[in-house]
Chains A and B, each alone.
Chain A
Amino acid sequence: MSDASGATERIRRQLARERRARAQAEEIAEKTTRDLYEANLELQRANRDLEQFAHIASHDLQEPLRMVASFTQLIGKRYRGKLDADADEFIDYAVNGARRMQAMINGLLEYSRLSRTPPSSTVTDVNEVCRRAIENLKGSIEECGAIITRDELPRIRAGPTELERLFQNLIGNAIKFRGSQAPRIHVSVEREYDSWRFSVRDNGIGIRVEDRERIFGMFRRLNSGDAYPGNGIGLAIAKRIVERHGGRIWLDTAPGQGSTFQFTLPAIRGVVR
């Protein structure tokens, strides 16, 4: 065999090897893509099931809970002081437990409702949203003499109701976890590239640095149940709202030095304010 045909043969075999290698690589790529696609579908299904479960559970739990809460209250009203001291105490625990369960279920229902539909992207004036949130908190604000101030806030695309809930939860949180002085709360905003970074700063009791992330978990209560009221889900809801809008939320804090909740939301392109 001459050198030329040997070389041709080698080149032919080389090309064949490369073709096979390419075909194998393509096959692997296709399989991987299929696997990823199916895994994604499966995750979406599981997610939807979970959301449905949470919604159904919290919705269906409301009725029996209403019975427990209403009738333990009725027993308390009718028989307080007429049975013995133990009975009064037992009734109090029952009524209190029922009330806390109701708060948790309401919170869970609200949380699960958030997942069901995508947030709207209406052009929303955040000043107006903040004003409404503060209006909703009027009672607690007057009760503790809270002073709430804010910068001029921008317009963004968001679901107005969800945004109102977000501000209401964060400001309400600041009021709830106040120290001995009247709460001073300030809402400010900074532009960062294509987002707005909002801050809600307070002069309250602050939170331990180690708890900064746990606090956004569902039903994560950092203080003992009775000392500070609340259903433990307000911040989880706030986080969900921010993330559904494509933002991030985090906490700067130190015990005794108040807290600053910060969150980002996408800015409207071309709008400076």
Chain B
Amino acid sequence: MMSNATFEPVEILLVEDNPGDVRLTKEALRHSKVLNSIHIVGDGDSALEFLKRTGEFAEAPPVDLVLLDLNLPGLHGRDVLSEIRREPRLTHLPVVILTTSSAEIDILKSYKLHANCYITKPLDFDGFTEVVRALEGFWLSIVKLPPRAVE
């Protein structure tokens, strides 16, 4: 199981409802040096179903890293985060909050709910590329992600 782990793509779940931002993130991740496979859901309920691999997402791969926007239709990003931390099978997942808000209250609440880190969406594409590069350089290179649970 471990021997071909380095050649498998990192499975990233992007929870984002703004199609423009989805596109920007995909573009920025396209030229990543780390092999990655990005999955998109547009709301919190779908995100939880994807992570739990239930319903229409029964065939979904196990996720290694979650990029989570806060302002989602329906379930708020913070509630998604809470649920991830509450669910024993998901609680270990690294969650990176990637959102427009730079309000301190949002930052604090996210960390209090045990987000791994908080990033404010950059204002243009150059900024976006830098952020994604930084994410790769840290989360996908230096950092050891948790091993996938054997089910």
In the complex, whether A73 has a CB less than 8 A from a CB of chain B is yes
A67 to B20 CA separation, bound complex (whole angstroms): 7
Interface size for chain B: under 10, 10 to 19, 20 to 34, or 35 or more residues?
A: 10 to 19
Task: Give the interface segment out of B45-53, B84-92, B119-127.
Answer: B119-127
- In the assembled complex, the CB of B28 is this many whole angstroms from the nearest CB of chain A, namely 10
- In the assembled complex, the CB of B134 is this many whole angstroms from the nearest CB of chain A, namely 17
A65 to B144 CA separation, bound complex (whole angstroms): 36
Residues of A near B128 (CB, < 8 A) are: 70
Task: Verify B123–A69 contact, CB threshold 8 A.
Answer: yes
Which of B27, B123, B126 is within 8 Å of A66, CB to CB? B123
Task: Verify A70–B100 contact, CB threshold 8 A.
Answer: no
- In the assembled complex, the CB of A57 is this many whole angstroms from the nearest CB of chain B, namely 16
How many A-B contacts are there with CB distance less than 8 Å? 33
Chain B 1-48 residues near chain A, CB threshold 8 A: 18, 20, 24, 27
A63 to B69 CA separation, bound complex (whole angstroms): 14
Interface size for chain A: under 10, 10 to 19, 20 to 34, or 35 or more residues?
A: 10 to 19
A115 to B9 CA separation, bound complex (whole angstroms): 49
In the complex, whether A173 has a CB less than 8 A from a CB of chain B is no
A77 to B27 CA separation, bound complex (whole angstroms): 12
Task: Verify A62–B100 contact, CB threshold 8 A.
Answer: yes
Q: In chain B, what residue has the closest Cβ to A64?
A: B20
The verdict on A71 contacting B100 (CB below 8 Å), with A77-B125, A102-B123 known, is no
Residues of B near A67 (CB, < 8 A) are: 20
- In the assembled complex, the CB of B23 is this many whole angstroms from the nearest CB of chain A, namely 8
Residues of A near B18 (CB, < 8 A) are: 63
Residues of B near A98 (CB, < 8 A) are: 124
Residues of B near A63 (CB, < 8 A) are: 18, 100
In the complex, whether A144 has a CB less than 8 A from a CB of chain B is no
Residues of A near B20 (CB, < 8 A) are: 66-67, 70-71
Given contacts A67-B20, A98-B124, A102-B123, 9 further A-B contacts (CB under 8 A): A62-B100, A63-B100, A66-B123, A69-B124, A70-B24, A71-B125, A73-B126, A74-B24, A77-B125
Give the A-binding residues of B (Cβ under 8 A).
18, 20, 24, 27, 100, 121, 123-126, 128
